[in-house]
Amino acid sequence: MRYWLLILLLPVFSACGDKGRHIPLATGLVGDLYVVMDSAQRKGTIGRLIDSIFQAEMPGLPREEPMFRIHWVDARRYNYVLKERRNLIFVTTLDRRSDGAAIVRRMFTPESLETIRKKPNDFFSSRSDVNARSQEMAFIYGPDEATLARNLRAKGGQMVSYFNLKERQRQTQGLYKSGQMKGITDILIRDFSCALKVPFGYKLAYQQPDFLWIRQINPRDDKDIFISRKPYTSQEDFSLKNLIAFRDDVCRRNLFADPDDLESYLMTETTVPYIPVTADTVNFNGRFAIQLRGLFRSHTPGVGGPFIGFALVDEGTQQFYYIEGFTISPGRDQREIMRELETILYTFQTSVELKPAAQETPAP
């Protein structure tokens, strides 16, 4: 989903990065955040709020996994080893009188500090590629702790969306570095009037007139994506009840834990009260969509896991698409697998997006 953030558009720190110079690639693992702040403030209200925002449980997973892993760094111990981390966040308030807070404040220009005093509703800004390529350096700030705490409670989710988007953009670059399975994309364009960028390593598993399934089977996990469609009838197609019904119908006809056992079809898991199926309105590359998250299982005992899906309409063909990524990876952390599947799903294009590209192709 795209979010418009309240970003302070000015040089927020004195040592600005120069994109023209050669800089190394950012270091660190996907989903890691290094938060630099005063150690006492980290143990107080601000630190607890930041922890609760970024380390909230990622929805739709069978086991509890935080959306991000936070590495707390005392501002007095921030050094050259850390300056190239992929996600760096600096936190300060102007009323804090300590060595750690002073160190962070020195990264702001005098003009920026004055703007913070005058615009208390601003609390978050970011820069890219400051000390390393593919690095995000963000600042969380406020004129005082009470104001910053209020902004974090009201708008902290925007920061999560921002870093989720940046991780997805990085994953897009990494996933397609080895190439694409263009043959599968060609099938989608020809037979389904849509497209998906399929990374190298995924294979076509099954195809029907209104259904296509691709998968990548690894020693430790099974990554799956399917595309299904039907004629669009009304806005009721987007209701949670009807989405689950459509998903279950598609799975019952096409997806089985054991292909030789027709009773082993996959189905939506709706009986786990603490992991409900959720349906959220999202901006899917500029178009309306419903994001579905939850768990699935086979009808006969066997397999299960998390899924993420998107429902949207192709205005050009009046087809209702439901696209989904799911994984079977028992006993393994699944947060980053689901981020990878979500990244692939976000490359989906309907006939509306494909037509401009076709018009730009020069005639033979």
Check: CB of residue 328 under 8 Å from CB of residue 222. yes
Place of tokens 């429902």: 311
Token pair for 280 = 């959220």
Place of tokens 């350096």: 137
pLDDT at residue 9 in the model:
35
Domains 32-175 and 182-360 share a fold: no
Residue 243: C-alpha distances to residues 240, 247, 265, 266 (Å) = 5, 6, 17, 15
In tens digits, the chain (364 residues) has pLDDT values of: 333 333 333 334 444 444 446 889 999 999 999 999 999 999 999 999 999 999 999 999 998 999 999 999 999 999 888 999 999 999 999 998 899 999 999 989 899 999 999 999 999 999 999 999 999 999 999 999 999 999 999 999 999 999 999 998 898 888 888 889 999 999 999 999 999 999 999 999 999 999 999 999 998 899 999 999 999 999 999 999 999 999 999 999 999 999 899 999 999 999 999 999 999 999 999 999 999 999 999 999 889 999 999 999 999 999 999 999 999 998 888 999 999 999 999 999 999 999 775 555 444 4
pLDDT at residue 357 in the model:
58
pLDDT at residue 358 in the model:
55
Give all strands (DSSP E) within 85-202, no chain letters: 87-93, 124-128, 136-142
Q: SS3 of 246, please?
A: helix
Q: In the chain, what are the domain boundaries?
A: 32-175, 182-360
The fold of 182-360 is Protein Transport Mog1p; Chain A (3.40.1000)
Residue 120: C-alpha distances to residues 92, 144, 334 (Å) = 13, 9, 38
pTM: 0.85
Residue 353: C-alpha distances to residues 221, 272, 359 (Å) = 32, 38, 11
pLDDT at residue 158 in the model:
93
* Beta strand 278-284 pairing with 287-298: antiparallel
End-to-end CA distance of the chain: 38
Q: Which CATH architecture has domain 32-175?
A: 2-Layer Sandwich (3.30)
